[in-house]
Amino acid sequence: MARAVTTQRKVFFTVASWAVALLIFFPILYTVITSLKSETEAIQGFGLIPSFTFENYVLVQTQNGYFKPFMNSVVISVGSTLIALLIAVPAAWAMAFSPTKRTKDILMWMLSTKMMPAVGVLVPMYLIFRDTALLDTRLGLTVVLTMINLPIVVWMLYTYFREIPGEILEAARMDGASLWNEIVHVLTPMAVPGIASTMLLNIILAWNEAFWSIRLSAANAAPLTAFIASFSSPQGLFWAKLSAASTLAIAPILVMGWFSQRQLVRGLTFGAVK
């Protein structure tokens, strides 16, 4: 009897998990389906069977060109992530292993910068970018995305580092390891899952960031978020083309997430069952 209940529960949880997963994934799936419809089909209402036309992908490519914004997205998201990690690893190390009585306040202050609506600093940022000739440059967007995601990176790394026993680092110091060796050869290998998941999450956040990347770029540094925005229109039919542009924009990050999901999950649950 007990065994039957267990099986029933297993079946229930399996079905429920699949249902929730499908529910979460459905908008992406429907975007892909819509991208394979004609514009007339797309506006005719809900339908799961498209006519499998690839016309929208061709149009999207010929109208705006995919490669340039794709490369901009790659450079900006990877660049901002690497710079953020370079700054955040030492910062998180210091806060995790040599905390002071103000460490918590500093962490809260860093996080509080994320609470401010971005539009509140749009004009000052725009003026700074104008005066430093960073408008519509990859460097400018890389810098701004580094700054935006830095608090999250520091927080995540701080949480991971806190899970590493301080005694191990002490032992390394007693064995004569320098600070550099301690971070590079002792701490970093132990925190690789955490650093990897932080890196992946930060790339995803930077890839999807739309507010600043649309407003601080024009024709040269516009990433894929701006590419998608160019297909929306208040007059005329555009759903299928917009879906094709969205599919092309999310495909690289979806593939990257798929292949690195084990690393991502390992990092996100790092220390959770300690």
Partner 1 sequence: MKAKTLALSACSLLAMMMAAKAETLTIATVNNGDMIRMQKLTDDFTSKNPDIQLQWVTLEENVLRERVTTDIATKGGQYDVLTIGNYEVPIWAKQGWLLELNDLGSNYEVDDLLPAIRGGLSVDDKLYAAPFYGESAMTIYRTDLLEKAGMKMPEEPTWEFIGEAARKITDRATGVNGICLRGKAGWGENMAFITALANSFGARWFDEQWKPQFDQPEWKEALQFYVDLMKDAGPQGASANGFNENLTLFQQGKCGMWMDATSAGSFVSNPKDSTVADKVAYTVFPSKGELKNHGNWLWSWNLAVPASSQKADAAKKFISWATDKAYTELVASKEGWANVPPGTRTSLYKNDEYLKAAAFASTTLAAMDAADITKPTVKPVPYTGGQFVAIPEFQGIGTTVGQLFSAVIAGQSTVDDALAQAQSITTREMTRAGYIK
Q: Which stretch binds partner 1 (CB under 8 A): 28-36, 81-89, 156-164, 226-234?
A: 226-234
Helix axes 138-162, 103-112, angle to 10 degrees: 140
Q: Pull the structure tokens for residue 59.
A: 């149009």
Contact 215, 135 (CB under 8 A): no
- Residue 31's closest CA among 251, 188, 179? 251
Q: Are 227 and 64 in contact (CB under 8 A)?
A: yes
The answer to whether residue 183 forms part of the interface with partner 1 (CB under 8 A) is no
CA–CA separation, 82 and 42 (whole Å):
40
Candidates 233, 255, 259, 261: give the one binding partner 1 (CB under 8 A): 233
Query: Residue 207 or residue 239: which is nearer to partner 1 going by CB?
Result: 239
CB of 228 to partner 1, least distance (A): 10
Chosen residue from 3, 27, 234, 262 binding partner 1 by CB under 8 A: 234
Instruction: Report the nearest approach of partner 1 to the CB of residue 123 (Å).
Output: 7
Residues 1-60 that bind partner 1 (CB under 8 A): 39-40, 43-44
Which one among 93, 160, 207, 231 touches partner 1, defined by CB under 8 A?
A: 231
Comparing CB distances to partner 1, the nearer of 94 and 122 is 122
Q: Which is nearer to partner 1, 42 or 156 (CB)?
A: 42
Closer residue to partner 1 in complex, CB, 108/210: 210
Least distance to partner 1, CB of residue 229, Å: 5
Please identify which residue in 60, 88, 89, 135 interacts with partner 1, judged by CB under 8 A: 135
CB-side exposure of 63: number of CA atoms within 13 Å? Answer: 15
Identify which of residues 168 and 237 has a Cβ nearer to partner 1 in the complex. Answer: 237
To the nearest 10 degrees (0 to 180), the angle between helices 261-268 and 239-259 is 70
Q: How far apart are CA 141 and CA 128, in angstroms?
A: 13
**Binding test (CB under 8 A) with partner 1, winner from 236, 258, 262, 274:** 236
Task: State the Cα–Cα distance between residues 242 and 244, nearest whole angstrom.
Answer: 5
98 makes contact with partner 1 (CB under 8 A) = no
By CB under 8 A, what part of segment 58-97 binds partner 1? Answer: 63-64
Judged by CB under 8 A, the number of residues near partner 1 is: 30
CA dihedral 169, 163, 89, 107 (to 10 degrees): -120
Q: Which of residues 111-130 bind partner 1 (CB under 8 A)?
A: 122-123, 126-127, 130
Q: Which is nearer to partner 1, 84 or 242 (CB)?
A: 242
Residue ranges in contact with partner 1 by CB under 8 A: 39-40, 43-44, 63-64, 122-123, 126-127, 130, 135-136, 214-215, 218-220, 222, 226, 229-238
